[in-house]
Amino acid sequence: MMRFNFSNHSTSEATSAGEKSTQPLTAHKRPLTIEADPDSLDSVISNPQSFPITIVPNRPASFYGLAANGKPFKTQPSCRSRNFRPGSMRRVRRRAVFKNGDCNVVQKNLQRRRVRFLQDMYTTMVDWQWRWTLLAFALSFILSWLFFALLWWLIMYTHGDLEELHMPDNQEESGWSPCVSAIDGFTSCFLFSIETQHTIGYGVRTTSPECPEAIFMMCFQSIYGVMSSAFMAGIVFAKMTRAKQRAQTLLFSKHAVICQRDGSLSLMFRVGDMRKSHIIGAGVRAQLIRTRSTKEGEVMTQHFTELEIGTDDSGSDLFFIWPMVIEHKIDENSPLYEMNATDMLHDKFEIVVILEGTVESTGQSAQARSSYINTEILWGHRFDPVVLYNKDLQAYEIDYARFNETTQVDTPLCSARELNEIYKIQEGFRTPETTFTMRQLPHNYSDQAS
């Protein structure tokens, strides 16, 4: 077997042995050599001139990583995941409830929205963020002080107390009786407004019976001060003690798991409480959000299905003294009955979990929410125990560092329906009608066997 190789050296001659070429070699003329096929790879490596010919078409400089000016391009990191496998692309559903419990809902095209919100001003201010609540709290007092200070200044001005001869230093000489003593300008009116609204009463500025309008204004501002203080204090108190703040100490596991319990597949997640004051009458619910098509062809993109859940054998009512694992048994009544591990990766759904109860210390109702999408459900995992008895402390100890820890266990990848069919087939082979011993055989079969 022979192979042709075109050498790159231009110094070799193209004529036969004994003859010399009289014409110089051009650039397109190359000598032709005939070599035998190398016997090993080492011979090829040791002789670079014997490399096989590779014809490469003309390509731009950018193909070789070079820019127009000859400088190399900066390599960009690949956006493709290393864990990508063909056929295992996960379809992530748009989340309706975030992990912290906030709802991913935005409203638009509401008619008379501002008017309706102003009609329920108390709830609107409670729902405000803290910076807006504190700003409204401060402005409610500062603006009222300035407004009533302006009214007091107008009363003083119309009565003539701000004239030069009626100033506090000249009142004894002129015998003038002012509406409010020790008032000489707008600054003193502002200070008197603060003293009147909050019943400070330093004893320097007092109202005289010379002006009925001043007496009426003093009574009106005192009533307004009590009402405004009660209103703003109520808003701050309601904002600090609302159930949303108590929900910050109620924990949900980062992932949900699917494994076998007593031979059946079960979906499980864990809930916990960080405080020593317990949640009274705690109850937990779970709902599946999934796209569903009706018989009439209607596509319901946000269809809610209630999941039957419980802990151990106590149902959905919890004696919530330590973290507990909530279980949903995947049986014939479960919407996850025909879903296997592959369907879990490809399907789009969301499981919203809700924990409700009464706060022991305040007596108010509290609700904590979270959700799990298909990528947050671990198939073939089990939660690690977090409650252990400490002999030194003689008390049960909760290790929250292991709250989200799971252990991988052997779990069938088939759906719960397929698993039940396998169990039925296995039970069919084990029934008394199909299992028999040598004693149950007829005598002729036993004789033949012997």
Query: What digits encode the pLDDT tens for the residues 394-405?
Result: 999 999 999 999
Cα–Cα distance measured from residue 215 to residue 200, given in angstroms and rounded to the nearest whole number:
17
Lowest-pLDDT range, 41-45, 182-186, 350-354, 385-389?
41-45
- Mean pLDDT, rounded, of the chain: 78
Task: Please check the confidence at residue 11 and state whether its pLDDT lies above 50.
Answer: no
CB atoms within 10 A of CB 327: 16
Q: Is 242 left (phi over 0), alpha (psi -120 to 50) or beta?
A: beta
Q: Would you call 413 helix, strand, or coil by DSSP?
A: coil
The pLDDT tens digits of the residues spanning 184-224 come to: 899 999 999 999 998 887 878 888 888 899 999 999 999 99
Lowest-pLDDT range, 4-18, 163-177, 352-366, 387-401?
4-18
The pLDDT tens digits of the residues spanning 99-123 come to: 888 888 888 888 888 888 888 888 8
Angle between helices 212-241 and 130-159 (to 10 degrees): 180
Cα–Cα distance measured from residue 70 to residue 316, given in angstroms and rounded to the nearest whole number:
70
Query: pLDDT confidence of 305, banded at 50, 70, 90?
Result: very high
Q: How far, in Å, are 216, 217, 304 from residue 179 at the CA level? A: 12, 11, 70
* C-alpha 57 chain-centroid distance: 52
Most confident listed range (196-205, 243-252, 330-339): 330-339
Cα–Cα distance measured from residue 385 to residue 156, given in angstroms and rounded to the nearest whole number:
76
Provide DSSP, 170-205. THHHHT---SBTT--SHHHHHHHHHHHHTT---SSS
Cα–Cα distance measured from residue 128 to residue 125, given in angstroms and rounded to the nearest whole number:
5
Query: pLDDT confidence of 83, banded at 50, 70, 90?
Result: very low
- Confidence at residue 59, expressed as pLDDT on a 0 to 100 scale: 45
Check: CB of residue 45 under 8 Å from CB of residue 62: no
The pLDDT tens digits of the residues spanning 29-73 come to: 444 444 444 444 455 445 545 444 444 444 454 444 445 555 554
Provide DSSP, 310-348. BSTTSTTEE--SS-EEEEEE-STTSTTTT--HHHHHH--
Q: How far, in Å, are 91, 303, 304, 351, 429 from residue 94 at the CA level? A: 10, 14, 15, 12, 46
Indicate if the alpha-carbon torsion angle 120, 121, 123, 124 is positive or negative: positive
Task: Please check the confidence at residue 281 and state whether its pLDDT lies above 50.
Answer: yes
Q: Would you call 52 helix, strand, or coil by DSSP?
A: coil
pTM of the model: 0.61
Cα–Cα distance measured from residue 429 to residue 62, given in angstroms and rounded to the nearest whole number:
68
- Confidence at residue 68, expressed as pLDDT on a 0 to 100 scale: 52
Contacts of 339 (CB under 8 A, 6+ apart): 347, 415, 416
Domains of the chain, each with CATH number or no CATH: 130-241 (1.10.287.70), 251-427 (2.60.40.1400)
Where b means 16+ CB within 10 Å and e means fewer, 389-406 reads eeeeeeeeebeeeebeeb
The pLDDT tens digits of the residues spanning 155-193 come to: 999 988 888 888 888 888 888 888 888 888 999 999 999
* Residue linked to tokens 């002006």: 211
Q: Is 265 left (phi over 0), alpha (psi -120 to 50) or beta?
A: beta
Cα–Cα distance measured from residue 144 to residue 151, given in angstroms and rounded to the nearest whole number:
11
Query: pLDDT confidence of 286, banded at 50, 70, 90?
Result: very high
Q: How far, in Å, are 146, 271, 273, 400, 411 from residue 253 at the CA level? A: 53, 6, 11, 11, 20
Cα–Cα distance measured from residue 350 to residue 97, given in angstroms and rounded to the nearest whole number:
9
Task: Please check the confidence at residue 143 and state whether its pLDDT lies above 50.
Answer: yes
- Confidence at residue 265, expressed as pLDDT on a 0 to 100 scale: 93
- Confidence at residue 370, expressed as pLDDT on a 0 to 100 scale: 93
Q: Tell the burial category of 112 from Cβ atoms under 10 Å away from its Cβ (0-12, 13-18, 19+).
A: exposed
Task: Please check the confidence at residue 323 and state whether its pLDDT lies above 80.
Answer: yes
Query: pLDDT confidence of 249, banded at 50, 70, 90?
Result: confident
* C-alpha 69 chain-centroid distance: 47
* C-alpha 67 chain-centroid distance: 43
Task: Please check the confidence at residue 250 and state whether its pLDDT lies above 70.
Answer: yes
Task: Please check the confidence at residue 9 and state whether its pLDDT lies above 70.
Answer: no
The pLDDT tens digits of the residues spanning 402-419 come to: 999 999 999 999 999 999
- Confidence at residue 241, expressed as pLDDT on a 0 to 100 scale: 75
